[in-house]
Amino acid sequence: MNERPGFGNEGGTARALVVVDVQNDFCDVPGAALPVGGGAVLAGRISDYVRACTDCYAAVVATRDWHIDPGDHFSDEPDYAGTWPPHCRAGSTGAAFHPDLDTAAFDQIFSKGQYSASYTGFDGVGSDDTTLEDWLHSRDLRAVDVVGIATDYCVRATVLDATRLGFATRVLADLCAGVAPDTTRAALAEMAGVAEVVGLPPH
């Protein structure tokens, strides 16, 4: 893995920063439905990075789980593979971004999973019902850096879709948090096969 760059628009390529699912239910805070270790600290670190790179990105966007009625994605007896305890219900405290995440930096927020399971940010739609892919294309953005939660689930899915859709994609591994060491390592290895993984993941 390479060192994480200090800026995003190198070589004249306009990049967007995609911040994945840094929400209370995914952070290690009291009452979180699916807490990921290091998630709360990560929220502040991502905000610091964005502030330090004010002119680095042509756009900064965020994705969020925003469940209304996701069907069998929720279960009272979840297997933590295809079914999960209720989390990130639309409008709830758990669905809100962590308070240390500076949402003022976001040019658009893409909500996903309203009525079904959803992992990739490219399933999300913005406030005008535009998809993330269309929003980026409309601004002639063909390169993305991806950060957020969780490395081994929604970050992974977003990165794999970004590369499949033709975006030049980087994962800033030190600005991601994973659920478990083994699955995080596997996800990073898989992503490295299709995208550039920069920075070292937090221990």
Which residues are part of the catalytic machinery? Answer: 21, 112, 154
**Closest of 86, 130, 136 to residue 110, by C-alpha:** 130
**Closest of 17, 6, 13 to residue 170, by C-alpha:** 17
Q: What b/e string do you get for 124-163 counting C-beta neighbours within 10 Å, with b at 16 or more?
A: bbbeeebbbbebbeeeebebbbbbbbbbbbbbbbbbbbbb
**Closest of 178, 173, 181, 185 to residue 34, by C-alpha:** 178
Q: H helices within the chain, ranges in order? A: 39-52, 132-138, 156-164, 181-192
DSSP for 14-44, please give it: -EEEEEE--BGGGBSSTT-SS-BTTHHHHHH
Q: What are phi and psi of 123, to 5 degrees?
A: -80, -15
